[in-house]
Amino acid sequence: MTAVWAAVLATAAGCYGLKLAGLVVPPRLLERPLARRFAELVPVALLAALIAVQTLTSGQSLQADPARLAGMAAAVAALLARLPFLAVIVAAAGTAALIRLC
């Protein structure tokens, strides 16, 4: 087995282990109101961070890609118009693709 294979398998084991760890935590640890509230808010905070990073950075530098920004603006418009989920996605990706075509 090569070193690269070892790295691949170590990464896979680590990533899977981290997922499983969260699922096997004894439920009573989450009984405290503060812990519940935290678990409840974590996806919102992390996904918002992910949205910001995916929209406004490229690699490690802050970058405002016009097509990407326009795509996200289209998503916001679609959300405000209460379009269904898939329509929001299509509007965002379509807008970004169109602007890159031009």
Partner 1 sequence: MADHAGPPAAQETPTEPADPPAAAPAPATPVRDGIGLGLAVGVSGLAYGAAAVSSGLTVGQACALSLLAFTGASQFALAGTIAVGGSLAAGVVSAVLLGSRNTLYALRLAGTLAVRGPARVLAAMGVIDETTAMATAQPDRAASRTAFWATFGTLYLTWNLATLAGALGAGRFGSPQNLGLDVVGPAAFLALIWPRLRSGRAERAAAAGGALIALATAPFLPPGVPIILAAPAALAVAWATRGRAADGTAGDGAAPGRVAAGDGAAR
Please, which of residues 37-96 interact with partner 1 by CB under 8 A? Answer: 37-57, 59-62, 67-68, 71-72, 74-76, 78-79, 82-86, 88-89, 91-96
Beta-carbon contacts of 100 under 8 Å, excluding residues fewer than 6 positions away, are 67
Q: How far is the CB of 46 from partner 1 (least distance, A)?
A: 5
- Please give the Cα distance from 98 to 102 (Å, whole number): 7
Q: How far is the CB of 77 from partner 1 (least distance, A)?
A: 11
Residue 1 in contact with partner 1, rule: CB under 8 A: no
Please, are residues 88 and 55 in contact by the beta-carbon 8 Å criterion?
Answer: no
Please, are residues 54 and 32 in contact by the beta-carbon 8 Å criterion?
Answer: no
Token match 């406004």: residue? 56
Q: Which of residues 3-22 bind partner 1 (CB under 8 A)?
A: 3-16, 18-22
Q: How far is the CB of 58 from partner 1 (least distance, A)?
A: 10
Q: How far is the CB of 63 from partner 1 (least distance, A)?
A: 10
Please, are residues 64 and 93 in contact by the beta-carbon 8 Å criterion?
Answer: no
Residue choice 28, 66, 77, 102 for contact with partner 1 (CB under 8 A) = 28
